[in-house]
Amino acid sequence: MKLYDFAMAPNSRRVRIFIAEKNIKVPVEQVDLLSGENLEEKYRKKNQFCLVPTLELDDGTCIDEAPAICSYLESCYPEPRLLGTTPLEIAHVQSWDRHMENQGLACVGEMFRNGFAGFKNRSLPGRDGDKAIPDLIERGRRGVEFFYEHLESRLQQSKYIAGDTYSLADITAFCAIEFATTLRMPTPEGNTKSRSWYDSVAQRPATKA
Amino acid sequence: MKLYDFAMAPNSRRVRIFIAEKNIKVPVEQVDLLSGENLEEKYRKKNQFCLVPTLELDDGTCIDEAPAICSYLESCYPEPRLLGTTPLEIAHVQSWDRHMENQGLACVGEMFRNGFAGFKNRSLPGRDGDKAIPDLIERGRRGVEFFYEHLESRLQQSKYIAGDTYSLADITAFCAIEFATTLRMPTPEGNTKSRSWYDSVAQRPATKA
C-alpha cells in the first residue's frame, strides 16, 4: 500500500492519524497541492478528481476520499476500532464524522481557499479556474463559530464526539481545530470541555503523524 | 422506526429510495423545510442540526445524515446489498457516493439555495441568517457541468457508478440529476451512457418512493 498525501492538508492528516492509531506503517508519497502537482496528468491517473489523499493498493487499485480509505483500513486492521463496533455505533461515528467534516474542516477550508492568494483561481479542491469568492471567507468564519458552539455542547454530554469511544470523528474534529488555529481561530477560551478534550487528543502519540 | 422527511428534499429522497429498495416499510413524518419547521424546537430535539432526514428508532434514538442512516439500515436489512459486500467494494461505494453527493447534490443545492427567493436568508441547510451569495449560483452551475462530465466518463467504463452492482452511489446520482433537471439542467443530450443509465434506474420501482 501507498498513501498519496500532502503533509499540510488537514484531510490527509486525518488519514495519517488514523493509520498511526492502527499502529501500521504505510509508505507516503507527497503530492504538492500548492504547486498544483495534484492537477497534473501523473496524479490524475491515480485520482481523476485530483484530490488527496489517495490510498493505492499493491495491485494498483486506488481508493480515494478520506472516510472511504479509513473504512477500508478498518476492515483490514480491525483493532483498535475507530469506526464503531455495533451497527448503531457505526452509524453514529459516520454521522458525527460527517458533521465534523462539513461543519469543521469544510468551513475552515472555505475561509482558507477563498482568502489565500495562492488559490485565488483554485478556490475548490482538485479544480482549476474557480475564482475565490470573498464573501465565503466570512461565511466560513461563521461556520467555524457554529462548529465550536456545537462541539462544546456535544462534549458536555459525551466523553468523545461520537460516544464513549475515541473514533474517526475525534480525529476529524482535531484536524479541523488545528487548521482553524493556523487561521487564528482557536477553540474559544470559555469552551472548557472542548479544550480539555483537545488537550487529551493532542497527547495521543498518533497525532504526531 | 420513523423517518423524518421532506418530500421535495433530494437528500431525503435518497433515503426513501434506499428504504424502498430494501422492500421495507418505514413510517414517514413530513418536516416542512420551506416554512422552516426544521428550525423549530420540536424538530431540533430530534436533530440538533435541523437537517432532514432523521431516522428515529423505537427507543427514541435518532440517527442523522443520509449515508449513516443507510449504513444502519444495511446492517438491519442486509439484502439486497446497496453498500457493497467486500471491504474494497464497501470503500468504493462510500467513495463514489461521496463524489455523487459533493459534485452532484451539493452543487445543485448551491444553485438552488442561492437562487431561490424563499431561502435568501437561509442559504445553508439547517441554518438561519446566512444570506444567499449570488456568485454561488454560477459556481454551482459549473459544478453540475463537472459532475455530468465525470459521470459520463465513469459510465463509459462501468455498468453502475461504483462498479458492477447498483448501489447507494447510483441512488445519490439519480436524485442529483432529478434535482438538477428541475433547475433546467438535465443530463446533456450527448451523454448517452448517462442517459441510458438514468433511464434504467428510473424504471426501478423504488424510484417511485
> Which pLDDT score is estimated for A112?
94
For residue A23, being part of any structural domain is answered with yes
Does residue A54 belong to the interface with chain B, where contact is any CB pair within 8 Å?
Answer: no
Gap from B103 CA to chain A (nearest CA, Å):
10
Show the DSSP H helices in chain B as ranges. Answer: 10-21, 41-44, 66-76, 87-99, 106-115, 135-155, 168-182, 192-202
Band the pLDDT of B145: cuts 50, 70, 90: very high
As averages over each run of 10 residues, the pLDDT of chain A (209 residues) reads 96 97 97 94 95 97 98 98 98 98 96 91 89 95 97 98 98 98 97 98 96
Gap from A199 CA to chain B (nearest CA, Å):
26
Q: Stretch B117-145: mean pLDDT, rounded?
A: 92
How far is A115 from A134, CA to CA, in rounded Å? 7
Q: Is residue B93 domain-shared with residue B21, that is, in the same domain?
A: no
- Is the pTM higher than 0.95? The answer reads yes
Band the pLDDT of B94: cuts 50, 70, 90: very high
What pLDDT, in 10s, does the model give residues B2-30?
999 999 999 999 999 999 999 999 999 99
Q: Is residue A26 domain-shared with residue A94, that is, in the same domain?
A: no
Among B13, B47, B76, identify where a domain stops. B76
Taking the CB of residue B59, how many other CB atoms lie within 10 A of it?
5
Q: Is residue A38 domain-shared with residue A133, that is, in the same domain?
A: no
Q: Is residue B48 domain-shared with residue B93, that is, in the same domain?
A: no
Q: Is residue B92 domain-shared with residue B145, that is, in the same domain?
A: yes
What's the alpha-carbon Rg for chain A, to the nearest Å?
A: 17
Q: Is residue B91 domain-shared with residue B58, that is, in the same domain?
A: no
| CATH number, domain containing residue A37 | 3.40.30.10
| CATH number, domain containing residue A114 | 1.20.1050.10
Range of the domain at A155: 87-208
Q: Which residue of B has its CA nearest to A153?
A: B48
For residue B82, being part of any structural domain is answered with no
For residue A81, being part of any structural domain is answered with no
Cβ neighbours of B92 in A, within 8 Å:
63, 68
Q: Which residue of B has its CA nearest to A74?
A: B87
Contact at CB, B68 and A99, closer than 8 angstroms: no
Q: Which of B24, B138, B152 is nearest to B78 (CA)?
A: B24
Please, are residues B4 and B29 in contact by the beta-carbon 8 Å criterion? yes
Cβ neighbours of B135 in A, within 8 Å:
133, 135
For residue B81, being part of any structural domain is answered with no
The set of cell numbers assigned to B64 is 442523522
Beta pairing class for A62-64 and A54-56: antiparallel
> Which pLDDT score is estimated for A129?
87
> Which pLDDT score is estimated for B118?
87
DSSP reduced 3-state for B39: helix
Q: Is residue B66 domain-shared with residue B100, that is, in the same domain?
A: no
Cβ neighbours of A133 in B, within 8 Å:
133, 135-136, 139
Band the pLDDT of B159: cuts 50, 70, 90: very high
> Which pLDDT score is estimated for A36?
92
Does residue B149 belong to the interface with chain A, where contact is any CB pair within 8 Å?
Answer: no
Cβ neighbours of A142 in B, within 8 Å:
130
Q: Stretch B127-150: mean pLDDT, rounded?
A: 94
Cβ neighbours of A78 in B, within 8 Å:
none
- Residue A32 exposed, middle or buried by CB count within 10 Å (0-12, 13-18, 19+): middle
Q: Is residue B125 domain-shared with residue B169, that is, in the same domain?
A: yes
Number of domains chain A contains: 2
What pLDDT, in 10s, does the model give residues B173-208?
999 999 999 999 999 999 999 999 999 999 999 999
DSSP reduced 3-state for A144: helix
Q: Is residue B119 domain-shared with residue B54, that is, in the same domain?
A: no
For residue B174, being part of any structural domain is answered with yes
Contact at CB, B153 and A48, closer than 8 angstroms: yes
Amino acid identity at A43: Y
Q: Is residue A117 domain-shared with residue A149, that is, in the same domain?
A: yes
Contact at CB, A91 and B71, closer than 8 angstroms: yes
For residue B103, being part of any structural domain is answered with yes
Q: Is residue B100 domain-shared with residue B63, that is, in the same domain?
A: no
Which of A63, A95, A150 is nearest residue B95 as measured by Cβ atoms? A63
Q: Is residue B37 domain-shared with residue B59, that is, in the same domain?
A: yes
